[in-house]
Structure 1
Amino acid sequence: MVGRLVLWTIFSFLSINSFAEEAAKLLAKNSSCKDRCGSIRIPYPFGMGADHCYVDDWFEIICKKDSTLGTPKPFLKRFNQEVLAISILESTVRVSHRITASCSTTTVNQYNKEFENSPFAFSESNNMFVAMGCNNSASMWSLDGRIIFGGCKSPCDRGRFIHGNRSNGTFNCCQTEVPYDLNAFVTTIEPKVSHNIANVNGECNYAFLVDKDWFQKYFTVPNPNISVPVVLKWGIDPTSYSLKLHGPTSSKQYDCHRHDPTLLGNHNFTISTHTCACAHGYKGNPYLPQGCQDIDECAYPELNHCSNSRCENTDGGHRCTDTRMLIIIEGISTILGALFLVIGGWWSYKVVQKRRRLKQKDKFFQRNGGLLLQQQLSTREAHVENIKLFNSKELELATNCFSGNRIIGQGGQGTVYKGMLADGRIVAIKKSKVMDSEILQEFINEVVILSQINHRNVVKLLGCCLETEVPLLVYEFIPNGTLSQYLNDDQNEEFPQTWDMRLRIATEVAGALFYLHSTASSPIYHRDIKSVNILLDEKLKAKVADFGISRSVAIDQTHLSTQVQGTFGYIDPEYYGSGQFTEKSDVYSFGVILAELLTREKPISSTRTSKTKGLAIYFITSMEENNLFAILDNRILKEAGKEEIIVVANLVKRCLSMKGKNRPTMKEVTMELELVQMLRKDHSVPVQNYEDVEIVRTDQMYGKCDAVNLYLKKKGMDIDVGSSLDSQPLGWKLERPRA
């Protein structure tokens, strides 16, 4: 009986000529291929044995006996990875994956590229990246070392390791999300610092990708030699194996989807694949001919609506056949009520649809924090009248229904689209990710913060939309990209990277931060100042953006105690160690941007030594070794005077001081940059020799205004920076040199 069923299944596919050869192979598979190794079921397209038992070499399974227990275990032959489970429904395979361990004081880099250029990728929804150990700093990088995918630093709270509600051993840990479609990366564990409490008892640090569910339920204290489960998602290459994809062309029983990451600009995973599932009303394996079988819906009353008539199974569903009396009654009722149904039914339909839409919009409004946002705005000094509530139809028209070709940026909080409103204004619309409590809080926080800000160098929030599935923010459109893109673009002839241009950008950003810290209705800490968050408008004027993790504080409040957030390379080391964010933490991040403007170096670079991988340390070390001019951008050396370079470089060094109390305020930073700009414009002021301004580099003056005062005296100007900071917040008045 089984043999006849197999023959019938295969010969039904022979009617489709393009699948004749493949059907013959699958006939052999059904009769000779094993589908189980130990306790693990191996469904097609995976398989063991002859090559017709699996779709291609990527999916070949070998069954090995465990040397200790003697029980058979399946392995992906191509990667020698132990298979723990395979899901056709979810298109995933669970495998055992190695961890990275560091038990020394040197940097450890482990290359995980076994799945590179394969149809497998680490599932971003099922996995997470974990760092364990005392004071462990671990991260994930691209194979070329130029892109950081994420990372974190574990605490050093000895005596406990807490994950969720479990206490497990004596380790500490931190975790971060896995990027979308990642299939190859480098795990880096930074060297331990000798004066830290880490490694005092020979403890090791660990970093690894791991299945979230397994980690929360079963994980124990690791050792350097263990492996942990990770979940891989997979698909079949439609170009090389089109004959083996029965779903897309052969039958309505199948529902196949193409995954093409290159269309979205995703370079982590570049192989185009198909994944298939059985269509509604069918069940089985969609990768086999006739693998999806029609469900007998008539056998289950809850699946059909034929309570008063006869139910008949059809291809892919069922139908209800009425009795003769029911047909006559239905016909008479239809004739008598036709007019009423046409008019009244259509009207009722429109009313119901309108109510449903309004109810759904109200549901989205509340779920997206509308009531909470109203409460926040009502309790703060906000320009609520300037914040418009857009409706979803307006923004759909503005973005051509959020078309993919309107995307101008993607980040951790969502996707940004370029749109044009009905009045002709060009805007940027940020579509948030699916809401969870943390992202919702960041969204509300950004609206509240931006509603309090009115500054020419801060991106302007025009309004928001809360009646869609995920909330939308509408900003003024800033056309010239980010400061990071500007510094890395050597071909920009319209806006060359001159010293005057960079100095102006730095002054505008400093002025915006000074406004946030000192002159806004209540002090605001940005907390994620970086060159990617500095936008440039049509005249290349700077606009500070992305206030998702910013915080407003009371006037008498000196710091915020929060979980460490920000971007590697810009995070204040004092904040990183204490968890206390102050206005001087923003000053540190600005110091890194100022160093970028002087050097055009990246904030984190794998091409520099491990000690100077961060631009901040690299810049300060170069100054201390009297090697400053060797790391500066050539254009700066050609256009700027040495005195100006030294003044700005010393300002960078003070901003990057390890202790926040030694850093200047953004008010002092703004005034010193304005002073350098002013001195460049006033050509009547004599320029001193390089040796005459060496005194500006003395360490005793860091954190004070003495350096600028001495510089002004060298120029022959009677200005006391210390006293003028209070009397002239944002202006200078030059006096001619005294006779």
Structure 2
Amino acid sequence: MWKNILTWIFFSGVILTFAATNTTTITVADTFNISKAPIITKPGCPSKCGDLTVPYPFGIGPGSGCAIEERFELNCTTTAFDPPRAYTGNIQIYEISDNQMRVSNVVARRCYDRITGAVVLTNSASSNITGTPYSYSELNKFTLIGCDDFTLVSGSGGRSFTSGCISLCSRSEDVIDGYCSGIGCCQTSLPKGFQYYWTDLRSLRNHTLVSSFNPCSYAFFGEGKRFGFRGESDLSDPNFMDRVMTTVPIVLDWAIGNLTCAEVEGTGDYACKGNSLCVDSGTGMAGYRCRCNKGYEGNPYLDPGCTDIDECKDSNLNDCEKSCINTPGGFNCSCPDGQYGMAERMVEVAMLLTPSTGLGFLSLVIAVTLLYFGLKKRKLMKLREKFFQQNGGLLLKQQISSIEGSNSMDSTKIFTAEELEKATDNYADDRILGRGGYGTVYKGILPDKRIVAIKRSRMMDESQIEQFINEVVILTQVNHRNVVKLLGCCLESEVPLLVYEYVSNGTLYEHIHNRGAMTTWLSWDNRLRIASEVAGALSYLHSAATIPANFLDQTEVTTLVQGTLGYLDPEYFHTSLLTEKSDVYSFGVVLAELLTGKKPIDMERSQEQRNLTTYFIMYMKENKLFQILEPRVVREGSLEQLQGVAELIKRCLCLNSEDRPTMKEVAMELEGLRKFTKHPWAHQSVHEEEYVGLMNESGSVDLYAVPMSSYNRTGEIYGQYPGQIIFPRVNSPR
């Protein structure tokens, strides 16, 4: 269960579709577009607000009855603007399509005085569409512009998350046009299906070293393909914010109601009319949309529904050489009298080949079908071979064969794309174990009945292929009972897939932070055991593994670190270096989580308590540690253990990495603390009822409620440790 230490997610496969018939036809694309339908709005309702076409189920005017429901009603401001503008709430709408809307953007900005570094201009960015039928699309990307900046972005409503970006550079010449790789520009994907986001833009040195070419920094969320980074000119452009707000919209997904297609079909609320089908929203939130059937067009929300497309009127919609005959939802090709098409020629050839016309034709059809699927399979094999080489397959084979003592590929299994498709039932939705901003994890069942976790990400940086292959080789050599085993990978898809052993019962993060029945077993003994075992595993990865798993030791990192900022070593922001001591810092954060039950970063906490590490150290310095420990930890942990672990956390979280212990030292210290198993009050005179009296309403110990009887004759408090918790000593003189 506690093997979830390393997580490496890379991508996805390619789906190819083909169609074959015994006549010459083409597949007609779905041309459904509600903004171009013959009937766009309900009778008597306006279809335009300025330059914007407003199709049903949307409608112009609150209370006008022109929309399918109140939440789809738009305001058309005709007096303040020329031409008029359409709004939903305070958000301007630029475009409405079959399943999306493009709306106005907001940009966070901070500008600094060139000499003093003082903030001379600042504004934050947030957007809230909670309670609407809209959610943020995955077409959007979060972007940070600047050379001395980092930012957090949080989202909630439907799906909650916290992510971030880091953008650093020391010279304008280092910035490359068109690349948001963390040098002057950082860009990251966010999950779809959330309805509120907020970003906090920060600087490391208030631009004092870069203000000559980068006086301001910016953070915004918008359609990824609409923004192109212009390099140095963007860093100094005083009109950058206006450019983004006018050219980079935010994309919203929309859906009707809060039911799925299966739940709404057959009810009086079903909105899809004739020749249309129901499509679930696919955003991770409830709701559905209506869509015209293939070969039909129109507005599926208005009677009579979608109408047939006459493909024969448009040569782009058919490939008939001579006669085209329109049919409902499609078309057929035919030849004039006395002329032959491919189908007729096939029959004629079949009649010449065999005495039996039917048998000859059947034989030819079978032969052509086998040839078609053979060519299709060959094409797919070539595509997979291309991906295999592109994703470093030859390098992986070379690396594995060079490992001492390895005479086969058994140590690193290279799975085929077909194997993983079968294992996941072609990546079925019911096989999804979890989703994140960077990809999806599926549950797979291999032919030998082993259950595995298959990680499939959305993207892969081609410049990182060599590093990826090196890490795969290293991870497959790791053999530790507390480290999740990487079984192998698949390189035959557009971006690699990783196959891990399946770990049941969720992650440690879920057990700590998702309140419920699953947390009841998290006793102090179990928390301390988990901490000790994980520390041992990390120590093993640093030093004892066959190939030490120290990927970034003293390595300069110039690209975005893909990780959660709450765990990231703050020294990285100053040095751009990640070392083994960076892992020590991250582990210190996990230890603080185990003791407090609090998340590393929580935007719902007050400003001073938002970051757990700062919060934890501050309370230790003020001798208030027990006020943030989880009540169960206080009740069950011995004084020696609580003091020891808290002091260890403090050392792990030192800003200077040289002052932190090694992972080996951390593991040894935690194992030693496990020996203190006596009851927390066994060495003290405070009785159970007195202990209960020390608890405040939240269940935490209030150390300022220590009774006067706990002081000795000189006024000192027994059990006090400098910078640590205060607690009365046993047999305090009265």
Shared fold, TM over 0.5: yes
Match of 2:312 in 1: 298
For the pair 1:597 / 2:587, whether they are aligned, the reply is no
| Contact 1:120 1:232 (C-alpha < 8 Å) held by counterparts | no
Deviation at 1:99, TM superposition (A): 3.3
| Contact 1:408 1:416 (C-alpha < 8 Å) held by counterparts | yes
Correspondent of 1:85 among 80, 89, 95: 95
Separation in 2, partners of 1:347, 1:648:
74
Deviation at 1:341, TM superposition (A): 4.3
For the pair 1:487 / 2:483, whether they are aligned, the reply is no
Question: Given the superposition, is the C-alpha separation of residues 312 and 671 from structure 1 closer, same or farther in structure 2, using an over 3 Å criterion?
Answer: same
Match of 1:456 in 2: 481
How do 1:195-214 residues align onto structure 2 when only pairs under 5 Å count?
A: 206-214=218-226
For the pair 1:664 / 2:661, whether they are aligned, the reply is yes
Correspondent of 2:135 among 121, 135, 139: 121
User: Over residues 663-699 of structure 1, what are the superposed CA-to-partner deviations in whole Å (9 max), with x where a residue is unaligned?
Assistant: 111122122222323x34799xx99999999798689
User: What SS does structure 2 have at the residue aligned with 1:424?
Assistant: coil
User: What SS does structure 1 have at the residue aligned with 2:105?
Assistant: strand
Deviation at 1:643, TM superposition (A): 2.3
| Contact 1:588 1:657 (C-alpha < 8 Å) held by counterparts | yes
User: What SS does structure 1 have at the residue aligned with 2:392?
Assistant: helix
| Contact 2:417 2:493 (C-alpha < 8 Å) held by counterparts | yes
Deviation at 1:481, TM superposition (A): 1.6
Deviation at 1:142, TM superposition (A): 3.7
Match of 2:376 in 1: 356
Question: Given the superposition, is the C-alpha separation of residues 627 and 365 from structure 1 closer, same or farther in structure 2, using an over 3 Å criterion?
Answer: farther
Match of 2:698 in 1: none
AA partner of residue 73 (structure 1)? P
For the pair 1:576 / 2:573, whether they are aligned, the reply is yes
For the pair 1:216 / 2:213, whether they are aligned, the reply is no
Correspondent of 2:436 among 407, 411, 430: 411
Separation in 2, partners of 1:446, 1:43:
51
Correspondent of 2:84 among 73, 80, 96: 73
Higher deviation after alignment, 39-48 or 496-505: 39-48
AA partner of residue 464 (structure 1)? C
Higher deviation after alignment, 609-618 or 686-695: 686-695
Match of 1:175 in 2: 187
Question: Given the superposition, is the C-alpha separation of residues 697 and 427 from structure 1 closer, same or farther in structure 2, using an over 3 Å criterion?
Answer: farther
User: What SS does structure 1 have at the residue aligned with 2:456?
Assistant: strand
Question: Given the superposition, is the C-alpha separation of residues 98 and 627 from structure 1 closer, same or farther in structure 2, using an over 3 Å criterion?
Answer: same
Separation in 2, partners of 1:480, 1:122:
30
Deviation at 1:619, TM superposition (A): 1.8
| Contact 1:646 1:697 (C-alpha < 8 Å) held by counterparts | no
AA partner of residue 369 (structure 2)? Y
Aligned residues with identical type, % of pairs: 36
Higher deviation after alignment, 480-489 or 218-227: 218-227
User: What SS does structure 1 have at the residue aligned with 2:481?
Assistant: coil
Question: Given the superposition, is the C-alpha separation of residues 409 and 189 from structure 1 closer, same or farther in structure 2, using an over 3 Å criterion?
Answer: same
Deviation at 1:461, TM superposition (A): 1.7
Question: Given the superposition, is the C-alpha separation of residues 191 and 513 from structure 1 closer, same or farther in structure 2, using an over 3 Å criterion?
Answer: same
| Contact 2:40 2:56 (C-alpha < 8 Å) held by counterparts | no
Q: TM-score normalised to the size of structure 2? A: 0.71
Correspondent of 1:96 among 104, 122, 127: 104
Deviation at 1:206, TM superposition (A): 4.6
User: What SS does structure 1 have at the residue aligned with 2:250?
Assistant: strand
Higher deviation after alignment, 310-319 or 453-462: 310-319
For the pair 1:187 / 2:204, whether they are aligned, the reply is no
Match of 1:152 in 2: 165
For the pair 1:475 / 2:510, whether they are aligned, the reply is no
Question: Given the superposition, is the C-alpha separation of residues 563 and 156 from structure 1 closer, same or farther in structure 2, using an over 3 Å criterion?
Answer: closer
Higher deviation after alignment, 56-65 or 609-618: 56-65
For the pair 1:621 / 2:634, whether they are aligned, the reply is no
| Contact 2:147 2:168 (C-alpha < 8 Å) held by counterparts | yes
Deviation at 1:614, TM superposition (A): 1.6
| Contact 2:41 2:55 (C-alpha < 8 Å) held by counterparts | no
Separation in 2, partners of 1:387, 1:404:
28
Match of 2:387 in 1: 367
Deviation at 1:375, TM superposition (A): 0.6
Deviation at 1:180, TM superposition (A): 0.6
Deviation at 1:627, TM superposition (A): 2.3
AA partner of residue 590 (structure 1)? F
| Contact 1:95 1:230 (C-alpha < 8 Å) held by counterparts | yes
How do 1:516-555 residues align onto structure 2 when only pairs under 5 Å count?
A: 516-525=541-550, 551=551
AA partner of residue 377 (structure 2)? R
Correspondent of 1:250 among 234, 255, 274: 274
Backbone CA RMSD of aligned residues: 4.7
Separation in 2, partners of 1:649, 1:284:
66
Match of 1:702 in 2: none
Deviation at 1:224, TM superposition (A): 8.8
User: What SS does structure 1 have at the residue aligned with 2:85?
Assistant: strand
Gaps of 5+ in 1: 1-25, 526-550, 700-739
Deviation at 1:152, TM superposition (A): 2.3
Question: Given the superposition, is the C-alpha separation of residues 607 and 334 from structure 1 closer, same or farther in structure 2, using an over 3 Å criterion?
Answer: closer
Match of 1:498 in 2: 523
Deviation at 1:338, TM superposition (A): 3.7
Separation in 2, partners of 1:378, 1:688:
63
Separation in 2, partners of 1:256, 1:404:
18
Correspondent of 2:450 among 422, 425, 428: 425
| Contact 1:62 1:75 (C-alpha < 8 Å) held by counterparts | yes
Correspondent of 1:643 among 640, 644, 652: 640
Question: Given the superposition, is the C-alpha separation of residues 60 and 673 from structure 1 closer, same or farther in structure 2, using an over 3 Å criterion?
Answer: closer
Match of 2:249 in 1: 230
User: What SS does structure 1 have at the residue aligned with 2:483?
Assistant: coil
Residue-pair matches, total: 621
Correspondent of 2:177 among 147, 164, 167: 164
Match of 2:650 in 1: 653
Question: Given the superposition, is the C-alpha separation of residues 258 and 598 from structure 1 closer, same or farther in structure 2, using an over 3 Å criterion?
Answer: closer
Separation in 2, partners of 1:454, 1:462:
11
Separation in 2, partners of 1:166, 1:408:
32
| Contact 2:40 2:55 (C-alpha < 8 Å) held by counterparts | no
AA partner of residue 325 (structure 2)? E
Separation in 2, partners of 1:646, 1:28:
70
Deviation at 1:281, TM superposition (A): 4.0
Separation in 2, partners of 1:162, 1:244:
58
Deviation at 1:319, TM superposition (A): 1.9
Separation in 1, partners of 2:287, 2:132:
10
User: Over residues 201-220 of structure 1, what are the superposed CA-to-partner deviations in whole Å (9 max), with x where a residue is unaligned?
Assistant: 99776543234444438985
Deviation at 1:376, TM superposition (A): 3.8
| Contact 1:132 1:173 (C-alpha < 8 Å) held by counterparts | yes
Correspondent of 1:272 among 284, 287, 290: 287
Separation in 1, partners of 2:359, 2:656:
82
Match of 2:557 in 1: 561
Question: Given the superposition, is the C-alpha separation of residues 65 and 488 from structure 1 closer, same or farther in structure 2, using an over 3 Å criterion?
Answer: closer
Separation in 2, partners of 1:363, 1:475:
25
For the pair 1:385 / 2:382, whether they are aligned, the reply is no
Match of 2:697 in 1: none
User: What SS does structure 2 have at the residue aligned with 1:51?
Assistant: coil
Separation in 2, partners of 1:195, 1:36:
47
Question: Given the superposition, is the C-alpha separation of residues 324 and 517 from structure 1 closer, same or farther in structure 2, using an over 3 Å criterion?
Answer: same
Gaps of 5+ in 2: 1-37, 112-118, 686-709, 711-715, 725-734
Question: Given the superposition, is the C-alpha separation of residues 40 and 356 from structure 1 closer, same or farther in structure 2, using an over 3 Å criterion?
Answer: same
Between 1 and 2, higher relative CO (CA 8 Å, sep ≥ 6) is seen in 2
For the pair 1:138 / 2:146, whether they are aligned, the reply is no
Separation in 1, partners of 2:178, 2:349:
63
Question: Given the superposition, is the C-alpha separation of residues 153 and 191 from structure 1 closer, same or farther in structure 2, using an over 3 Å criterion?
Answer: same
Separation in 2, partners of 1:108, 1:351:
64
For the pair 1:612 / 2:609, whether they are aligned, the reply is yes
Which has more helix, going by share of residues?
A: 1
Separation in 2, partners of 1:486, 1:615:
18
